[in-house]
């Protein structure tokens, strides 16, 4: 099979926490695809010695609010290609064979959000494809820059982006082929997002290795019940689940 080449796409991750897991997510993408460039935007000087990953020094992002500000205002300064593929430690490429050239026709694609029913339901930013045109439009003085950044883009400011800047959001069918997060539609996808999806994606052993490498786990609080159920089912399940529960009773 020919290796996928995306010369107009920059692979990007921006973080100050869970760097080891983030580097592993970048590797999962780089193992399948040749990008124009791969950027790890972080305050750490040398989180990896992989020459395929260019580390760019930026201000620390220790909170999700700081991450949102960076993505809305600063990401544009680092991306030179027409599009960038944004990944996080818990969202990355699954199967490069599911890539479609149609994806590049849009300014924004992220997983479909089943929790919204008003048509503004695409989508999740943790694994998303964004155009420079979109990033430039987010600097419009009328853009309401709020947290979380994907909701600010895809819901709060969607009408502004579409009407004033001609931004094209992928439709639901395209988003479902691109990625999944809160709803897996049963078809193969290019990627995924969500720690609550990592056990079925990676398997329990691999998930536990990633989990133990995390230096920031507070973000897992919302979906800890899903993870609790997924960590069951093998001979070490009780011990694993007990350790997981202990971690979340003492969240940092």
Give me the residue spans of the domains in the chain.
Answer: 4-193, 199-249
CATH of 4-193, one of 1.10.357.10, 3.40.1030.10, 2.20.25.90, 3.90.550.10: 3.90.550.10
pLDDT values of the chain reduced to their tens digit, one per residue, 252 residues: 689 999 999 999 999 999 999 999 999 999 999 999 999 999 998 899 999 999 999 999 999 999 999 999 999 999 999 999 999 999 999 999 999 999 999 999 999 999 999 999 999 999 999 999 999 999 999 999 999 999 999 999 999 999 999 999 999 999 999 999 988 878 999 999 999 899 889 988 899 899 999 999 887 777 777 777 777 655 455 555 556 555 654 444
Q: What is the pLDDT of residues 35-67, one digit of tens each?
A: 999 999 999 988 999 999 999 999 999 999 999
Do residues 25 and 91 touch, judged by C-beta distance below 8 A?
yes
Q: What is the DSSP letter of 3?
A: P
Q: What is the DSSP letter of 75?
A: G
Contact call for residues 180 and 111 (beta carbons, < 8 A): yes
Helix (H) or strand (E) holding 174: helix 172-178
CA distance 241 to 62: 27
Query: Can you say whether the dihedral through the CA atoms of 90, 183, 177, 168 is positive or negative?
Result: negative
Q: How far apart are CA 25 and CA 11, in angstroms?
A: 11
Read off the tokens for 203. Answer: 């398997």
């Amino acid at each position: 099979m020919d290796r996928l080449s995306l010369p107009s796409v920059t692979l990007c991750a921006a973080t100050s926490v869970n760097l080891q897991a983030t580097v592993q997510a970048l590797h999962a993408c780089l193992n399948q695809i040749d990008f124009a460039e791969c950027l790890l935007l972080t305050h750490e000087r040398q989180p990896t010695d992989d020459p395929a990953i260019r580390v760019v020094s930026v201000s620390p992002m220790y909170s999700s609010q700081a991450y949102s500000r960076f993505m809305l205002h600063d990401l544009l300064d680092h991306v030179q290609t027409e599009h960038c593929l944004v990944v996080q430690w818990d969202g990355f490429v699954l199967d490069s064979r599911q890539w479609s050239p149609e994806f590049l026709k849009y300014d924004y694609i992220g997983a479909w959000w089943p929790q919204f029913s008003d048509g503004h339901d695409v989508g999740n930013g943790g694994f998303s494809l964004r155009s420079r045109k979109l990033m430039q439009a987010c600097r419009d003085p009328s853009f309401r820059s709020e947290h979380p950044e994907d909701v600010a883009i895809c819901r709060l400011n969607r009408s502004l982006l579409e009407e004033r800047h001609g931004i094209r959001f992928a439709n639901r069918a395209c988003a479902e082929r691109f990625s999944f997060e809160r709803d897996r539609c049963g078809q193969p996808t290019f990627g995924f997002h969500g720690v609550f999806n990592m056990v079925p994606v990676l398997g329990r052993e691999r998930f536990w290795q990633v989990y133990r490498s995390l230096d920031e786990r507070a973000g897992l609080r919302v979906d800890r019940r899903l993870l609790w159920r997924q960590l069951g089912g093998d001979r070490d399940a009780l011990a694993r689940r007990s350790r997981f529960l202990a971690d979340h009773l003492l969240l940092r």
